[in-house]
Amino acid sequence: MTDSRGASALRADARRNVDRIRHAAAQVFREQGFSAPLEEVAAAAKVSKATIFNRLGGRIGLIDAVIDDVVAVKLRAIIEDARSVVEVRERICSYVGALRDLQYRLPAVNDVLLQVYRDSEPLLALCHAGTAFHDSLVAQGHAAGFLAPDFTPADFHALARDNALALKHGGRPTRADYDRRTAFVLGGICASSCASD
């Protein structure tokens, strides 16, 4: 039979394990995305893979536990930064540039955009917030006469998803090539190029 001191030590040990797992998961997911092997998270946390399942419920529980630290705060920040830009043309250009920059630097963003882990409610909520913002940007761009008339919200989403797929599964371009292609994307969707400024 465990006395209160033994139970307290067990709870403290469990809390330390959860803290180590969360810290390791955030680091591994930032570097590799949410599909990183759980064995790497376990090794970084110095626990067994079974401990991850016991303490956090596996990959989805782990994503839910660290999504804010890994990606949600950054995605929300670029949306809020774009909202603060008064001129519609500049708002769209700065947001597209910031989103593509984040996709390049932070692989987990691509897992969000591709909705790879649909069982994660926080991940899907983040996705829906991004979708709503994209829809409003396209409407604003059309109203201002800035976006090409036939450019739709579905096109906006497809560009983000296509880029996510290319970065996740294709060859990773150099940063210079990637930035040059971002200018091509902006030039293609705009009635007048935002990349020329």
| Confidence class for position 14, pLDDT limits 50, 70, 90 | confident
Q: Give yes or no for a contact between 91 and 137, defined as CB atoms under 8 angstroms apart.
A: yes
Place of tokens 């670029």: 78
Question: Quick one: which of 186, 79, 74, 69 has its CA closest to 130?
Answer: 79
Residue type, position 58, single letter = G
Rounded to two decimals, what is the model's pTM?
0.84
Structure confidence at residue 196 (pLDDT): 44
Mean residue pLDDT of the chain comes to: 89
Q: What is the mean pLDDT of residues 160-182?
A: 90
Q: What is the mean pLDDT of residues 27-31?
A: 96
